[in-house]
Amino acid sequence: MPDQPPQIEPFTPSTAPGALQDLRTRLRATRWPDAPEDAGWSLGADPTYLRELVAYWADGYDWPAQEAALARLPHFRVTLGGHGIHFVHVRAAAPTGPVLPLVLGHGWPDSFWRYTKVIPLLTDPGAHGADPADAFDVVVPDMPGYGYSDRPTGPPPDSIAVAALWAELMGVLGYARFGAAGGDIGSHVSRYLALDHPDRVVAVHRTDAGVPVFTGDPADLAPEERTWLEDAAAWGGSEGAYAAMHRTKPQTAAVGLTDSPAGLAAWIVEKLRAWSDCDGDIERAFTKDEILTNVTLYWLTGTIGSSMRMYRANASIPPAQHARRVEVPSGFSLFAGDIVRPPRAWLERTANVVRVTEPARGGHFAPFEQPELYAQELRAFFRPYRSAAAG
């Protein structure tokens, strides 16, 4: 009997009332650490801001309303490679030309949440003051161990394996050729989609080049590349402790972060502030409701441990994989407030670069921070490749 194709099923996010009561009880019972006077954010999450956020989470934040808003997107589930995968799939509204299918890759610490603001701008540009001919079919999957996708029971897949899952997903959805875009881990996944499926990926757009991996002779690098490697190493020394924990002992941190919602908020919120274009004021980039929707997704799905374990998987990717050059047409939007921004010389070394822009606003979470700018970047970059996907 031939293998049955994967079955796609509609999915509706829902939360048992008992889970919310448990969350509020834990929040109200938080045992707070001491902190030096006026430490602010200098040692990590600011205790004063975190107390304010946790108080609102316990007694002001309306998760059912936020969940209902998320549920207005069309959600689905499918089993691929033994993993239960959740994804959002929105088809183009009233297109006036070839529709380009686009798979969007999120990173850590987020999920499909990263793209919730930008989806309508991409699928229905005409309703938002843009050209209807730039409409996309948008697919936003949660990686295994993130969001509403299942937590892997064994070793988590690395970015290469996730790229293979997304290629399969796009095939199941009927898309022979498509574009790929992403940031953070989603940038890595998009890169491997282009590397391993160049016959299907018409073009790839990224908001970063990842943390640089270079095993050759530094003398072969341009001066600005060497400076970037030094800057990235310095950033890792001052800001990369979280990643070292994720790579080496994720289960140790997972115990506390899975048990304490205040601890989970501290772990995530500090990164939202540090990596966004907010000039030190996190609420210039995200409202409290937006922050807590991201954090609550992690809490209710119990995915902080499984999301961190992916760092361990990615740390085992062989150096030879990092050295591969992407030949699929590649574009980069390097947002002004992002971290570890690469020089053009490095991009040219690692990819077939056809477009590089430097938007003046937005940071690591650009699709959420600046959805209009991000949508403009994707429309402009992918415009020449629409007919290739349709052909």
Per-residue pLDDT of the chain (391 residues; tens, 9 = 90+): 457 889 999 999 999 989 999 999 999 999 999 999 889 999 999 999 999 999 999 999 999 999 999 999 999 999 999 999 999 999 999 888 899 999 999 999 999 999 999 999 999 999 999 999 999 999 999 999 999 999 999 999 999 999 999 999 999 999 999 999 999 999 999 999 999 999 999 999 999 998 888 888 889 999 999 999 999 999 999 999 999 999 999 999 999 999 999 999 999 999 999 999 999 999 999 999 999 999 999 999 999 999 999 999 999 999 999 999 999 999 999 999 999 899 999 999 999 999 999 999 999 999 999 999 999 999 999 999 998 876 5
Does the annotation mark 205 as catalytic? no
SS3 89: strand
The pTM of this model reads 0.97
Residue 141: φ, ψ to 5°: -90, 150
Joined together, the tokens standing for residue 244 give 């070292």
> In whole angstroms, what is the distance from residue 358 CA to residue 362 CA?
10
- The answer to whether 74 touches 119, Cβ cutoff 8 Å, is no
Does the annotation mark 364 as catalytic? yes
Does the annotation mark 311 as catalytic? yes
Domains and CATH numbers, the chain: 9-390 (3.40.50.1820)
Q: What is the pLDDT of residue 1?
A: 46
With CA atoms as reference, report the closest residue to 308 among 364, 273, 258. 258
Q: What is the pLDDT of residue 188?
A: 97
Q: What is the pLDDT of residue 2?
A: 56
Sign, CA torsion 274/362/351/184: positive
Q: What is the pLDDT of residue 4?
A: 82
Q: Which of 115, 311, 374, 385 is catalytic?
A: 311
Q: Which of 106, 364, 374, 385 is catalytic?
A: 364
User: Which residues does 145 contact at the CB level (< 8 Å), separation at least 6?
Assistant: 151, 152, 156, 303, 306, 307, 309, 310
With CA atoms as reference, report the closest residue to 78 among 142, 135, 35. 142
Residue 200: φ, ψ to 5°: -115, -30
Computed on alpha carbons and rounded to an integer, the radius of gyration of the chain in Å comes to: 20
Q: Which of 46, 124, 184, 277 is catalytic?
A: 184
> In whole angstroms, what is the distance from residue 91 CA to residue 27 CA?
39
| Ramachandran bin of 33, using left for φ above 0, alpha for ψ from -120 to 50, beta for the remaining angles | beta
> In whole angstroms, what is the distance from residue 228 CA to residue 223 CA?
9
